[in-house]
Structure 1
Amino acid sequence: MPVTDPIQRTQSSSRSRWPWRIATAGAAAVVLAVTTVACSTEDEPLPSIGYAIDNTVTSYNANTVDGAASGAPQALGRVLPGFGYVGPSGRVVADTDIGTATAMPGEQLTVQYRLSPNSVYSDGVPMSCDDLVLTWAAASGKFTAPDESGAQLNVFDSARRGGYADIERIDCQAGSKDATVVFRQGRGDTDWKSLFGATELLPAHVAARVAGVPDLVGAVNGGDLDAVRRIADFWNTGWTLTPGDLDLTLFPSAGPYRVESYTADEGLVLVANERWWGNRPATDRIVVWPRGTDAAAAAEDGRIQVVDSGEGALRQALNLGEAVDSRTVVSRNLEQLVLATSGVFEAAEARRAFALCVPRMQLFDELGAAGDEDGVSGPVASRLLAPDSPLYPGVVGTASRYAKADVEAARGEREASNQDRMEVRIGYLGPDERRSRTVELIAQSCRDAGIEVVDAGSETFVPSQLSAGDVDAVLAGTAAVAGAGGSADMQRAREALNSAAGSNIGGYTNGRIDEILDALLITGDSATIAGLAAEGEAILWSDMPTVPLFAQPRTVGFAPGMRAAVVNPTTAGAGWNMDRWILGG
């Protein structure tokens, strides 16, 4: 089912850009975890659907720095739903199964959240406003403690910030289905509907139980830092998903699916949640095959029917055989290089030197162009506005200096940084044929500028390695995500440039950029947005915390006979509506 979206360029044919071999309903018996089931028919849908993604799933918590960059949003959107989800157009759609969110009249933005009266976790504990309070506590930056250098840091390893930092308080009676969220005076955030969305609401009762905090709401609203730090210690690492080693009591679901098991051999198994109060899932069992599992064997055995991958990312890993209906779309995900602001890249001149030798146009022509359709026609030139925004053409002029590699100019900037030579280690999650080729082309182009580029991709790579100094640059998508990413409002991309956001893994700090980002959160006037974005881009192309490359092409394949499967080229991925999938004959 094609999706109308101005940023997409779609190929829908029997041949894709690489040979998918996806199991069909008429194939030989589908191997399940505990039994063997014959092929399906129109009247007898396949009882299990396999879903391969181009990212790892290492945490139930998609809100930590590494969790947000993982495949958790692709895999768990229908396990941990929220008040909204990112739909195929890239915009937030309300999820009324979870509840309602209503802006109240008045000068100060106040939103009334009301959870469904039937909402309950799979362990029998009702959902409550405690879950919203935990999400806010983690992302707001309200709770800090000094690190070794004395700098105050959020005790939660939260990737997100955005509108959560603008919330003044949440009026919540512990255990209630209702919460009143009050924003700070003058902070009427235009993106408030994106808050408390899919994968952002976590079971607060689990965190409170493990942390030994009987009243989480009281601890947060009372500013009890000792209790909140114990909660944060669990929130940061307690929801780790390790194949073969799961304590399922830590992972209750509030969605149509729940986690049943997770092993390298059998994938991440999601089964229908018996306590789900909405429409029952159309297929009782979805098996997610992320990186780190034996997806190659599953593909050979006919256990994968859906694949959602950056173009070329899984080409070496999966042999998916006979061509099926597939499409390659230009996604909302911005392929980019995120640079450190220390080490070899401490000086802005060094970052500009590297950007000047990156062959952005060549990379787009070889790796970023998804077809001949209308749409994006070159490298992405803005970090703050989507390429299909009507304001985009007016803010991208500063990028012209970096459209093509300029070795002489790169050499001059390197010398201005007082470095005779530079070595740049580029990290990414591999194996990934497209990103490996990207690094290869950059290395070839930068060598004559006195910049040696080292391919530091690995199967265990996580974005926090940049903060740790293990690499100098990260090759990834929006907000350093390895797989699916992005949305129409660009909020994740913007907040990854804010000095207070955990997703700002390069440690970039610019006070004026922080002011611009905060202003964009509350601005609805097009002229004001254009002025702020133009000023911001001029600063960013000078400071160079990131090097935008292109809108990431993503190839999505569905087996013949799949119903209700819709491409979603955003952070939600193809699994955004997996509870509606049916594979018939």
Structure 2
Amino acid sequence: MPVTEWIQRTHTSRREGRPRRAVVGITLAVVAAATISCGTEEERVHSIGYAIDNTVTSYNANTVDGAASGARQAFTRVLPGFGYVAPSGDVVSDTDIGTATAVPGDPFTVQYRLSPDSVYSDGVPMSCDDLVLTWAAGSGRFTAPDESGAPVNVFDSSLRGGYADIDRVDCQPGSKEATVVFKGGRGDTDWNTLFGATELMPAHVASRQAGVGDLVGAINGNNLDEVRRIADFWNSGWSLTPGEFDPALFPSAGPYRIESYSTDGGLVLVVNERWWGNAPGTDRIVVWPRGTEMAAAVDGGQIHVVDVGAGSMSDAHQVVGAVESATVVSRNLEQIVFATRGVFENPAARRAFALCVPRTQLFDELGASGEGSGFATGPVSSRLLPTDSPLYPQTAGPAERYLQPDLEAARGERTASGQERMEVRIGYLGPDDRRARTVELIAASCREAGIDVVDAGSDSFVPSKLGTDVDAVLAGTAAAAGSGGTAEMDLARAALHSGTGSNIGGFANGRIDEILDALLVAGDQQAVAGLVGDGERILWEEMPTLPLFVQPRSIGFASGLAAGVANPTTAGSGWNMDRWILTE
């Protein structure tokens, strides 16, 4: 199906009245038709290569650095959940894993039932233990003092949102059923985004590696000593390094499992023999992330699907030109995230920098391209609403001051921050041609305002370096280096909350926390409009981040590949890789 078709078809959101890309039924129909019409087994290519513009350094896409990595794009069909992010950016139920049924009332309750056949590739059944672990990590309820004495989550979790609104998860260890009970008055309107693809990690592995016999009992019994041991493994035990792979730590609950990982061979996914759903269409998917020999794979004709930021990777450009590709406007917000200490401790310093950034020039040169470009016709004015929301135009007012550089005002804000001159190190995952050009244009514009900009991009950059090695991060939604974003803006909003790991800049504002919490349960446009209006006024004054433009992405599929459907969201275009079939 042409990319333009699913971009243009819309329906109405019940909560914000915003257009959505109604692709789910269309996509499934196309997948089914493509699968039926494909050629004989002898004509099929048995290995499909998939190139992405991010690193894959962890199996756990829920830690701070794991969420910013390409783990979600690599493992959506390795670690599925109760839902997945469709090309529209909306979450769709995945009934292969199980069902989730809301029970109206207060407290709001959801009954989860895993498929009776659900089992990990190591033979251990999926269970409600997996949900309990996900909730514990994202809820923020388990804390310990940091160096300053402030309580912090013992789990290095990027998650929050509705997980913090859950009061308890009733689970008999090993059971296929869980009852999730929310706190009183916290019936989250987007509860179906919880426990989704890549969020359910194998609890039995964490329990075994932590030496905790009863994970559910430890969590529900608030046994902090045992929970900290579980968290220590959850935080770093699922790290992935090419050439170092222990299959016992990485069981799969999806149609594919990891077979190997190396720089010269890529991240190899093969059919999970214990998968209970429809068999994958292709035996082997090789993910080629940054840090692998992608260029050699391109030269060898081993890459058939590409999903990268437009203008970002020279290696990927070669294959983008060789496959059927399109530049597509995504759900990913290109932005600058500021540290709230060091040079940017004073909000006036952050405003000074924002006032010298040529946002309109950046959009015109780097953001205004691709199919569906009417989806975002200028620099982004909101951090809380998607640009296709009917409420979005109302957010433009506070952002107007920052459309064009105002060097005199920038110098005034810099002086007000108490700094005669500022040096700003901007970090990003490189090499990245588009982001290098972004930094170059910003540096040229800001120099006259007394702000010296240093390009601190590197091939080993991770967002957790913000505040130490760099002063600002140039990245996508929630600091993602590659694909990012959803239609509901849940990841973008959570990254502004003081209690969320993905808030890498350490921004804290009590009123913003209240607004973000209220948006989780807001049920009508009027309520959303009021909350967003208040929020944007504060955010453009405090400036924890500077929105630039909606990121365009180059997505390509080899000729003859069936069921290839672009997904310019956090899931990436590998969202349905188990349906891919390539014929020669």
Q: Distance in 2 between matches of 1:490 and 1:345?
A: 26
Aligned to 2:456: 456
Deviation at 1:269, TM superposition (A): 0.1
Q: Could you say which residue in structure 1 is the equivalent of 2:7?
A: 5
Give deviations 1:277-304, integer Å, cap 9, x for gaps.
0000000100000000001101100100
Per mean C-alpha deviation after superposition, the further-off stretch among 42-51 and 297-306 is 42-51
Distance across 1 between alignment mates of 2:349 and 2:9? 33
Correspondence for 1:387: 387
Q: Distance in 1 between matches of 2:157 and 2:265?
A: 30
Q: Does 1:274 align with 2:270?
A: no
* Aligned match of 1:16: none
Residues 396 and 534, structure 1, Cα contact 8 Å, conserved in 2: no
Alignment-derived partner of residue 92 in structure 2 = 93
Whether the aligned pair in 2 keeps the contact of 1:295 and 1:318 (CA below 8 Å) is no
Shift of 1:319: 3.0
CA contact (8 A) 1:299 1:318 kept: no
Q: Is the 8 A contact 1:316 1:431 kept in 2?
A: no
Kindly provide the amino acid, as one letter, of the partner of residue 199 in structure 2: E
Superposition map of 1:101-180 within 5 A: 101-180=100-179
Q: What's the TM-score, normalizing by structure 2?
A: 0.93
Shift of 1:105: 3.1
Q: Which residue of 1 aligns with 2:358?
A: 359
Measure, in 2, the Cα distance between the counterparts of 1:103 and 1:41.
43
Which sections of structure 1, spanning at least 5 residues, go unmatched?
A: 9-39
Cα pair distance change 1:571/1:185, threshold 3 Å: same
Cα distance change, pair 321–6 in 1 and its aligned pair in 2 (3 A): closer
Question: Between the two proteins, what is the percent identity of the paired residues?
Answer: 72
Kept in 2: contact 1:337–1:476 (CA 8 A): yes
- Distance change (3 Å), C-alpha of 1:214 and 1:371: closer
The question of whether the paired residues in 2 share the 8 Å contact of 1:103 and 1:111 is answered with yes
- 2:410 corresponds to: 410
**Mapped contact 1:58–1:72 kept (Cα < 8 A):** yes
1:224 to 1:519, Cα distance in 2 relative to 1, 3 A: same
CA contact (8 A) 2:119 2:125 kept: yes
Residue 309 of structure 1 deviates from its aligned partner by 0.2
User: Match for residue 202 of structure 2?
Assistant: 203
Q: Distance in 2 between matches of 1:398 and 1:374?
A: 22
CA contact (8 A) 1:47 1:283 kept: yes
In structure 2, the residue matched to 1:502 is 501
Please name the residue that 1:81 is paired with. 80
- Does the 8 Å CA contact 1:85/1:92 hold for their aligned counterparts? yes
SS at structure 2 position matched to 1:106 = coil
1:324 is displaced (CA, Å) by 3.2
Q: Paired residue for 1:192?
A: 191
Deviations 1:447-486 (A, max 9, x none): 000000000000000000004x110000000000000000
8 Å contact kept, 2:329–2:552: yes
| Deviation, structure 1 residue 345 | 0.2
Q: Match of 1:384, as an amino acid?
A: L
Instruction: Answer yes or no: is the 8 Å Cα contact 1:395–1:530 preserved in 2.
Output: no
Q: Which deviations, in whole Å up to 9, do the C-alpha atoms of 1:40-97 show, x marking residues without a partner?
A: 9885210000000000000000000000000000000000000000000000000000
Mapped to 2, the partners of 1:188 and 1:411 lie a distance apart of 46
**Secondary structure at the residue paired with 1:320?**
helix
Distance 1:6 1:396, change over 3 A: farther
Query: Contact (CA 8 Å) 2:67, 2:480: kept in 1 or not?
Result: yes
In structure 2, the CA distance between the partners of 1:278 and 1:321, relative to structure 1 (3 Å rule), is closer
Q: 373-382 vs 413-422, which deviates more?
A: 373-382
- The one-letter amino acid paired with 1:4 is W
Give 1:107 deviation, angstroms. Answer: 2.4
Match of 2:339 in 1: 340
Alignment of 1:57 onto 2:56 = yes
Asked if the contact 2:294/2:315 (under 8 Å) is kept, the reply is no
CA distance in structure 2 between the partners assigned to 1:208 and 1:327 by the alignment: 44
1:286 aligns with 2:285: yes
Distance 2:547 2:325 in 1: 27
Is residue 264 from structure 1 mapped to residue 266 from structure 2 by the alignment? Answer: no
Aligned AA for 1:56?
T
The equivalent of 2:541 in structure 1 is 542
Distance 1:6 1:380 in 2: 20
SS of equivalent to 1:328: strand
Give distance in 2, aligned partners of 1:404 and 1:328. Answer: 26
* Number of equivalences: 553
Say which SS state the counterpart of residue 515 (structure 1) adopts: helix
Distance 1:461 1:541 in 2: 27
Cα shift readout 1:144-192 (whole Å, capped 9, x = no counterpart) = 0011111101000000100000000000000000000000000000110
- Aligned AA for 1:110? T
Q: TM-score, normalised by structure 1?
A: 0.93
Counterpart amino acid of residue 272 in structure 1: V
Cα distance in 2 for residues equivalent to 1:43 and 1:436 = 45
Match of 1:304 in 2: 303
| 3-state secondary structure, aligned to 2:314 | coil
Contact 1:119 1:127 in 2 (8 A): yes
CA distance in 2, matches of 1:404, 1:318: 31
Helix, strand or coil for the counterpart of 1:275?
Answer: coil
Alignment match, 1:396: 396
Alignment match, 2:446: 446
Q: Deviations over 1:220-272 (max 9, x none)?
A: 00000000000000000000001001111000000000000000000000000
Partner of 1:584: 583
Deviations 1:83-129 (A, max 9, x none): 00000000000000000000013222100000000000000000000
How far, CA to CA, are the matches of 1:316 and 1:94 in structure 2? Answer: 35
Alignment partners' CA distance in 2, 1:243 and 1:371: 34
* Aligned twin of 1:478: 477
Give the letter aligned to residue 368 of structure 1. Answer: G
Work out the CA distance in 2 between the residues paired with 1:223 and 1:267. 41
Q: Which amino acid aligns with 1:287?
A: V
SS in 1 for 2:7: coil
The aligned amino acid for 2:412 is G
Contact 2:306 2:319 in 1 (8 A): no
Letter in 2 for 1:258: R
User: Shift of residue 5 of structure 1?
Assistant: 3.1
Do the aligned partners of 1:348 and 1:542 also contact (CA within 8 Å) in 2? yes
Query: Once the 2 structures are TM-superposed, how far is the Cα of residue 4 of structure 1 from its aligned partner?
Result: 2.1
Q: In structure 1, what is the equivalent of residue 487 of structure 2?
A: 488
Deviations 1:336-395 (A, max 9, x none): 000010000000000000000000000000000114853311001000000000111112
- Letter in structure 1 aligned against 2:476: G
Q: 1:322 to 1:376 in 2, by over 3 A?
A: closer
- Code of the aligned partner of 1:460: S
Conserved in 2, the CA contact under 8 Å of 1:128 and 1:178?
yes
1:7 shift after superposition: 10
Q: Is the 8 Å Cα contact of residues 463 and 479 (structure 2) preserved in structure 1?
A: yes
One-letter identity of the residue aligned with 2:302: R
**CA 1:394/1:318 → structure 2, altered by over 3 Å: closer, same or farther?**
closer
- Pick which of 276-285 and 317-326 moved more: 317-326
Specify the SS of the correspondent of 1:49: strand
The alpha-carbon deviation at position 315 of structure 1 amounts to 1.9
What is the CA–CA distance in structure 2 between the aligned matches of 1:254 and 1:97, rounded to whole Å?
Answer: 10
Partner SS for 1:138:
helix
In the alignment, what sits opposite 1:252? Answer: 251
Q: Matched residues in 2 for 1:319 and 1:42: separation?
A: 29
* Alpha-carbon distance in structure 2 between the residues aligned to 1:213 and 1:371: 51
> Which AA in structure 1 matches 2:347?
A
Cα 1:316–1:437, aligned 2, differ >3 Å: closer, same or farther? farther
Where 2:513 maps in the other structure, the secondary structure is: helix
- Residue segments in structure 2 that go unaligned for 5+ positions in a row: 11-38
Secondary structure in 2 matching 1:130: helix
Aligned pairs (5 A) from 1:219-238: 219-238=218-237
